Amino acid sequence: MRPKPMQEFLDAIISAADYYVTDPNGKESLAKIRAALQTPSKMSDGAGAQLPIRDSLEEVAIPSHFHAPELRHLVETFLRLEPMLNWRRRSGDMSCASANFAEGHANANIVGPGGIEWRTDVWLGVTLLSPNVRYPDHSHPPEETYLVLSNGSFCHGDSEWFEPGIGGTFYNSPGIVHAMRSDSTPLLAFWLLWAGAE
């Protein structure tokens, strides 16, 4: 049995992703993630770590601002889970990051290595950027589907910057280089990675 805030959040994000993901590869990845998450894994016993950019979360995660019921419910469940999250700064390669990146971002793994629920097959987490922050170019072996809950721009591979918009989704193939940047408002996005066996 999962703690109630975790189960309610996972139900909400899977159902929002089911609704919003359109890319066939993203749908296929999501089906594996959904099936794997039917089996709960070990919960971490560590306490949460404070979010350093709380003002940005308060500006962007206001349930009543979301007209779509799936997204409003997702934000509500996320806010109930948020005190348990272990917010952290990214380490490693900072290529192309803006100078304000270090103090202008926070990531939290919700499920996966270092997550509240420890597992290796699904990595599910969240990124928050303060206004006018550019995340570094990065890549990882697992495929990834993004669900975006704010304004902000993204790029992957040799694409131009694109704006998925609120409820927008896109798929990153394994190993593709990708990045994101906020505009004059904070950026909030969830990512769902499939790292399990085929």
Q: DSSP E strands: which ranges in the chain?
A: 42-43, 105-111, 117-118, 122-129, 143-148, 153-156, 169-172, 178-181, 187-194
In sequence order, what DSSP letters do the residues of 117-136 get, joined into one string?
EE-SSEEEEEEEE-TT-BPP
Query: If you search the block for the tokens 């594996």, which residue do you land on?
Result: 32
Q: Could you tell me the CA-to-CA distances from 95 to 91, 137, 177, 179 in Å, in that order? A: 11, 6, 11, 10
CA end-to-end span of the chain: 26
Q: Judged by CB, which is closer to Fe ion: 109, or 130?
A: 109
Q: Judged by CB, which is closer to Fe ion: 73, or 129?
A: 129
User: Binding marks (x or -) toward Fe ion, 88..127, rule CB under 5 A?
Assistant: ----------------------------------------
The minimum distance between CB 65 and Fe ion, in angstroms, equals 26
The minimum distance between CB 132 and Fe ion, in angstroms, equals 21
The minimum distance between CB 131 and Fe ion, in angstroms, equals 21
The minimum distance between CB 191 and Fe ion, in angstroms, equals 6
Q: Judged by CB, which is closer to Fe ion: 80, or 138?
A: 138
The minimum distance between CB 124 and Fe ion, in angstroms, equals 12
Residue type at 89 in one-letter notation: R
Q: Judged by CB, which is closer to Fe ion: 46, or 157?
A: 157
Q: Tell how far CA 95 is from the center of its chain.
A: 21
Q: Judged by CB, which is closer to Fe ion: 20, or 154?
A: 154
Residue nearest to Fe ion (CB): 144
Residue range at the interface with Fe ion (CB under 5 A); choices 59-67, 77-85, 88-96, 138-146: 138-146
> Using CA atoms, how far apart are residues 120 and 111, in angstroms rounded to an integer?
9
Q: Give the footprint of Fe ion on residues 143-182 (CB under 5 A).
A: 144
Positions in the binding site for Fe ion (CB under 5 A): 144
